[in-house]
Amino acid sequence: MVERCLWDEGVGAPGGAAAPLPGRTDVAIVGGGYTGLSAARTLARHGVAVAVLERHRIGWGASGRNGGFVLPGFQPDPDHLTRRYGVARARALFAASLEAIGCLERLIADESIDCGYMRVGSVTLAARPGHLRHLERSRVTLGTRFGHRTELVGRADLREEIDSPCYHGGLLDPAAGSLHPGRYCAGLAAAAVRAGAVIVEGIEVLGTSSAGGRTTLATSGGPLTASGVLVATNGYTGPAFPALRRRVVPIGSSIVATRRLEPAVARGLLPRGRVMSDTWHRLHYFRRSDDGRILFGGRASFTPTTIERSAAILTRAMREVFPSLADEPVEYAWTGAVCFGRDRMPHAGRAEGVHYAVGYAGHGVAFSTWLGARMGDALAGRAPVPELTGEPLRAIPLYAGTPWFLPAVGGYYRIKDWLS
Ligand SMILES: Cc1cc2nc3c(=O)[nH]c(=O)nc-3n(C[C@H](O)[C@H](O)[C@H](O)COP(=O)(O)OP(=O)(O)OC[C@H]3O[C@@H](n4cnc5c(N)ncnc54)[C@H](O)[C@@H]3O)c2cc1C
C-alpha cells in the first residue's frame, strides 16, 4: 500500500507560496502548519514583516494529516487538570480551549475558508462498562468546575450516535466540530499571504545564532536575519533546535479511509455525523468525511512501522468497530507525528534566543490556531506570551530526540487497557 492522504486531494497550493527567501525580515517563523501560519497572519496584520520557512510544503506536517476534530479541552482529562493545576488554573486552561474554538470559527468566517467546518459535537465512547464511570466523573467536573455542559449517553441511546457492538455508552460534547484539515490549512496560508506574510516552501532551517539583538537563521537556501524567531515545528522538531527537541516526543498516529460509501450506509454508521473517539489508552478515533467515507485513526504502533502494517492494524480495528465494513476496501492510509511534552500539555515560551509554541498532544487543530495568534501578538510586542500551565516545558531524562522508551510505553498501555 502506498501512503496517500485523503486531505491532499484537490487542495491547491496557497497563493504566494513560491516566494523566494528574503535576506532579512522582522520575524522568521520555522514551520508551515497551523501554529506558524496563524502567527504569520497575526503578525502581518499588525504590520510586522514576517516570513514562514517550511522544509517541505505548507501543511506537510500534522496540520495536513490530522483527523480534523475540533476539540475542547486537552489530552489530560478534566479531573487530571484540576488535580494537577488546581481549580482556578484548570478552569482558565479549559476556557482557553473554548476560546480557541471561537478563534478558529471567527477566522474561518472572516477569511471565508471553505473547509466544511461544522459544530457537529463529539462523543467519547466507553470501551468497557467501567469506563462509563470515568466519563460520568468528567461530566460532573466539566459542569461544576468549568461551567461546561456535556451529556452522558447510556448504552440504550447510543444507537442514535453509532451503529457498533463495541461500546457501552459515551460522553457527548456539543462544543466540538469537524473540518477538512487540508482545505483549512491552505485557507489559513492564503489568509496569511493576503495579510502580507511571505511563505517560502522547500527551505530547511539548519540552526540559529544571535548577535546584537538580531538572529541569523542558517537555511538550506542561505542565511536570513530577523529580530524575532518563532519555532513552530511541533512533532517534527529536528536537530536545528536541540534544546526543544529534548523536550518533545513525536508519537505516530495513522488514519485509514474507506472508499466512498452509499450515503445511507455512511449515515447509518454515524447517524449524527459527530466526531468519535474511544477510551482505550491506545485510542481509536473516527468520523465521516464530507465525501461519504469512514475515516478511522489511532496509534497503530508504538514502534517504527510501515504504512502497510499500520493500515492493516487500523483496518482490522475499524472492522471490529463497524462489522458491516468487513468487505469495504480501504483507499487511503497515512501517518503523522503527534507532539507530546512530558505533561501532555501545550507550551509556549522563549529559550535560547527564540520563541516556541509546541506540544498539543493530538488536540491542536483549534489550539495551535489560537496559540499561533497569541504568539503573533507577543512577537509584535502587543501582549505577553500566554502562561498556559505556568510550568516550564521540561526536558525528558536520557532523551535527545530518539524516543527509545516508546515500545515500553506501548506495552504499558496494552496492559492498562487489558486490566481496565
Ligand atoms: C494523524 C494525526 C491526527 C490528528 N488528529 C487531530 C484531531 O483530529 N484534532 C486535533 O485537534 N489535533 C489532531 N492532531 C494534532 C494536530 O494536527 C496538531 O496539533 C497541529 O496540526 C499542530 O500544528 P503545528 O503547526 O504546530 O505543527 P505541524 O503541522 O506539524 O507543522 C510543523 C512543520 O514544521 C516543519 N519543519 C520542521 N522542522 C523544520 C525546519 N528545520 N525547517 C523548516 N521547516 C521545518 C515541518 O515540515 C512541518 O510542516 C493530529 C495529528 C496527527 C499526526
What DSSP designation does 65 have? T
Checking if the pLDDT of 270 tops 70, the result is yes
- pLDDT reported for residue 403: 86
Per-residue pLDDT, 301: 73
pLDDT digits 0-9 by tens, 103-133: 999 999 999 999 999 999 999 999 999 999 9
- Distance, in Å, from the CA atom of 298 to the CA atom of 410, rounded to the nearest integer, reads 13
**Helices 365-379/87-110 angle, 10° precision:** 90
Q: What is the CB < 6 Å shell around ligand 1? A: 30-36, 53-56, 60-63, 65-69, 71, 204-205, 232-236, 238, 240, 253, 255, 297, 336-338, 360, 362-365, 368
| Cell numbers found for residue 292 | 461519504
Q: How far apart are CA 68 and CA 277, in angstroms?
A: 12
36 φ/ψ angles, rounded to the nearest 5 degrees? -65, -40
Say what the pLDDT of residue 402 is: 87
- Residue to mutate (ligand 1; options 236, 284, 339; most atoms within 8 A of CB): 236
Average pLDDT for the chain: 95
Tell me how far apart the alpha carbons of residues 99 and 72 are, in angstroms, rounded to a whole number. 9
User: Is there a contact between 297 and 280 (Cβ–Cβ < 8 Å)?
Assistant: no
More confident residue, 167 or 18: 167
Residue type present at position 216: T
pLDDT digits (tens, 9 = 90+) for 46-77: 999 999 999 999 999 999 999 999 999 999 99
Show the cell assigned to 389. Answer: 500551565
Q: What is the pLDDT of residue 374?
A: 98
- Is 16's pLDDT higher than 60? no
pLDDT at 17: 55
**Sign of torsion over alpha carbons 162, 165, 169, 173:** negative
* Ligand 1 midpoint to CA 34 (Å): 7
Q: Are 135 and 170 in contact (CB under 8 A)?
A: yes
Of 131, 118, 120, 126, give the one whose Cα is nearest residue 164: 126
The yes-or-no verdict on residue 234 having pLDDT over 90 is yes
**What pLDDT shows up at residue 13?**
60
- The DSSP letter of residue 166 is S
CA 136 to ligand 1 centroid distance, Å: 31
CA–CA distance, 370 with 291 (Å, rounded to integer): 28
CATH class of 6-408: alpha beta
Q: Does the pLDDT value for residue 12 go beyond 80?
A: no
Kindly state the average pLDDT of the residues 365-384: 98
Q: Whose CA is nearest to atom 51 of ligand 1?
A: 66
The residue that leads in pLDDT, 219 or 303, is 219
Ligand 1 centre and the CA of 235: distance in Å? 6
Residue 14: pLDDT band with limits 50, 70, 90: low
Specify the pTM: 0.97
**What percent of the chain has a predicted confidence (pLDDT) above 70?**
98
pLDDT surpasses 80 at 97: yes
pLDDT more than 90, % of the chain? 88
Please give the Cα distance from 117 to 109 (Å, whole number): 10
Are 248 and 358 a contacting pair, CB within 8 Å? yes
pLDDT in tens, 275-313: 999 999 889 999 999 999 999 999 877 777 899 999 999
Please give the grid coordinates belonging to residue 395.
526536558
Predicted local confidence at residue 373, as pLDDT: 98
Query: Which tens digits make up the pLDDT trace of 142-171?
Result: 999 999 999 999 999 999 999 999 999 999
pLDDT of residue 409: 82
Average pLDDT on 25-54 reads: 98
pLDDT at 221 over 80: yes
More confident of the two residues 16 and 113:
113
Closest CA to 374 of 87, 27, 65, 100: 100
pLDDT at 358 over 90: yes
